[in-house]
Each structure stands twice: as C-alpha cells, then as structure tokens.
Amino acid sequence: MFGISFRPRKASPAQTAKERLQILLAHERAGGTSSDFLPLLQRDILEVVRRHMEISQDSVEVTLERGEELSSLEINIELPGASKLRGRPAT
C-alpha cells in the first residue's frame, strides 16, 4: 500500500475493464457503426465480385476492428489460384 512497487506497472484488471467499456460504448452509442450490417456487406461484395469473376461463397472475409481513435474495416477476397484456373476448357 505504501512505498514503491517493484513490479513493472501493468494495467489493473479494473483499468482494462474501464477502457474496454469506454471504447465499446462510444461505438454503441453512435449507433451507425453497429456490426449488424456486416453480413449484408459481405453478401453485397460477393455479388459484385461475382459479376466479374468466379469465386466461391466463402471467399469474402469481412473483419472489423474497433479502436479508440480509429476503426478499421478489413475486406479480404480470396481469388482462385493458378492451379485451379489451369485445365479449363479454352473459350
């Protein structure tokens, strides 16, 4: 309780709880950044890409990372590799 702690300063569990809540609630209060739309976004992207090339149902991956200052939305689209393209009938 008194004096100097020799352990390296690490955020207490209570501090971590508070910070996690502050970030989460800032987003939830804003409303618009709800992650409810992500499955719809994933479906739309899949649809648009499929207009131009053949990709499978599960090749679009959408992830959201919420930060305090900045949030990022990452969209990964996996395209078929050369091995799969080979051997197709030439058109």
Partner 1 sequence: MSKVIVVTSGKGGVGKTTSSAAISAGLAMRGHKTVVVDFDVGLRNLDMIMGCERRVVFDFINVIQGDAKLKQALIKDRRLENLFVLPTSQTRDKDALTQDGVKAVLDELRQEFDYIICDSPAGIERGAHLAMYFADEAVVVTNPEVSSVRDSDRVLGLLNSKTYLAEKADGRAVKAQLLLTRFDPQRVAGGEMMSVEDVLEILAIPLLGIIPESTTVLRASNVGMPVVLDDKSPAGRAYEDAVGRLVGEQIEMRINPAEKRGFLQRLLKRTA
Residue 29 interacting with partner 1 (CB under 8 A): yes
- Report phi then psi at 80, rounded to 5: -65, 140
**Residue 19: CB partners within 8 Å, gap ≥ 6?**
11
Cα separation, 21 vs 17, whole angstroms: 6
> Looking at beta carbons only, is 13 or 81 nearer to partner 1?
13
Q: Judged by CB under 8 A, which stretch of 17-25, 46-54, 64-72, 80-88 contacts partner 1?
A: 17-25
Q: Please give the residue ranges that form the binding site for partner 1 (CB under 8 A).
A: 12-15, 17-18, 20-22, 24-25, 28-29
